[in-house]
Amino acid sequence: MIADVRQLFATPTSVPIRFADRGEAGRRLAEDLRKYAGREDVIVLALPRGGVPVGYEVAKALAAPLDVFVVRKLGLPWQEELAMGAIASGGIRLINQAVVSAAGVSEEEIDQVADEELAELERRERQYRGDRPFPNLMGKTVILVDDGLATGSSMKAAIAAVRQKKPNRVVVAVPVSARETCLEVRAVADEIICAEEPEPFYAVGMWYDNFDQTTDEEVHDLLEKGSRS
């Protein structure tokens, strides 16, 4: 009887891992990506800002180049939280025609929103990459990294945008994700690695002891270090 009671209150063996910070999360994630280590066709693209410290550790462990992939959502002019498309690094623009048609958005309105978001994207590109050109992704195995997936909307836009650059393979890698989101992203990526899929999920930050905001300066410094390694 005592043994049965102890069994009820025993710590489960499948308790999700919490990460001390994004650096530790990146090192943990790199263990699941070991098959890509040392390959000349691999490039790690991190989604800023929070994905960059994770991506830096992944790229270092795999001996792969690191770069940044900026995605900016295009929200409806009167309802910014509802995406009608996205723009991304490398001059990529994606429009969800179903949303545009249903909402009755004109070409002029799309252009106005896109121009506003492009200004912010270009600011971030200059801040993060400096004078370095956008990398050639054709024929590459691209590993897209973020610090976690909640809804997955930015990552889905990133996948669609990267595919326009004609890579050979798109791999998504995150330390933690909502289980349903991991399944959804798996349907549009060639491979996805979600190191932890806790249930219930709540939010990405719940699974980090330190989830302080990554600054533009930190992103720039990590990218500089990653490009030299």
pLDDT tens digits for range 25-80:
999 999 999 999 999 999 999 999 999 999 999 999 999 999 999 988 888 999 88
Q: Which amino acid is at 120?
A: E
* DSSP state for residue 204 in the 8-state scheme: G
Tokens of 3: 């043994």
> By residue range, what is the domain housing residue 107?
73-127
pLDDT in tens, 145-189: 999 998 888 898 899 989 999 999 999 999 999 999 999 999 999
What's the pLDDT score for residue 228? 62
Minimal CA–CA distance to 114: which of 90, 88, 134, 78?
88
Q: Which amino acid is at 9?
A: F
Query: For 13, what's the count of Cα atoms within 13 Å in the CB-facing half-sphere?
Result: 1
Query: For 100, what's the count of Cα atoms within 13 Å in the CB-facing half-sphere?
Result: 15
What's the pLDDT score for residue 167? 97
Minimal CA–CA distance to 191: which of 220, 176, 169, 175?
169
What pTM was computed for the model? 0.84
pLDDT in tens, 110-124: 999 999 999 998 888
> Does pLDDT of 10 surpass 50?
no
> Does pLDDT of 8 surpass 60?
no
Q: Are 91 and 182 in contact, with CB atoms under 8 Å apart?
A: no
135 plus 94 within the same structural domain: no
Higher pLDDT pick, 81 / 119: 119
E strands, 77-140, in order? 79-88, 92-95
What's the pLDDT score for residue 86? 86
Q: How many domains does the chain have?
A: 2
172 plus 195 within the same structural domain: yes
85 plus 183 within the same structural domain: no
> Does pLDDT of 107 surpass 70?
yes
53 plus 140 within the same structural domain: yes
How would residue 11 be classed by pLDDT, with cut points 50, 70 and 90? very low
Higher pLDDT pick, 35 / 134: 35
What's the pLDDT score for residue 210? 96
Q: Are 41 and 16 in contact, with CB atoms under 8 Å apart?
A: no
For the beta sheet containing 66-68, the strands, ordered from the edge strand earlier in sequence to the opposite edge, are 66-68, 42-46, 141-145, 169-176, 191-196
57 plus 85 within the same structural domain: no
Tally the residues of the chain: 229
151 plus 192 within the same structural domain: yes
150 plus 43 within the same structural domain: yes
123 plus 136 within the same structural domain: no
Q: Which of 127, 161, 194 is at the close of a domain? A: 127
221 plus 175 within the same structural domain: yes
